[in-house]
Amino acid sequence: MPIPSFAEESKLQGEGYQLIAGIDEVGRGALAGPVVAAAVILPYPIDSPWLYQVKDSKELSPQKRQLLSHHIHQEALAVGIGVSSHEVIDTKGIIRATRQAMKLAVERLEPQPQSLLIDYIPLPEVKLPQQAVPGGDSRCLSIACASIIAKVARDQLMVELDRAYPGYGLAQHKGYGTEEHFSCLKMLGPSPIHRQSFRLIKGNEA
- Position 174 in a domain: no
Contact, 194 vs 201, CB < 8 A?
yes
pTM of the model: 0.95
- Position 165 in a domain: no
- Position 126 in a domain: yes
Radius of gyration of the chain (CA): 17
Per-residue pLDDT 10s for the chain (206 aa) are 678 999 999 999 999 999 999 999 999 999 999 999 999 999 988 889 998 899 889 899 999 999 999 999 999 999 999 999 999 999 999 999 999 999 999 999 999 999 999 988 889 999 999 999 999 999 999 999 999 999 999 999 999 999 999 999 999 999 999 999 999 999 999 999 999 999 877 655 54
pLDDT on residue 109? 98
Q: Which helix (H) or strand (E) holds 80?
A: strand 78-84
- Position 172 in a domain: no
- Position 173 in a domain: no
Indicate the number of domains in the chain: 1
Residue 126, domain CATH: 3.30.420.10
Q: Note the pLDDT tens digit of each residue in 136-189.
A: 999 999 999 999 999 999 999 999 999 999 999 999 999 999 999 999 999 999
Q: How far is CA 32 from CA 23, 49, 57, 88, 178, in A?
A: 22, 36, 20, 12, 12
- Position 184 in a domain: no
- Position 202 in a domain: no
Contact, 50 vs 172, CB < 8 A?
no
- Position 142 in a domain: yes
- Rounded Cα gap, residues 38 and 108, in angstroms: 10
Which domain range does residue 75 map to? 7-157
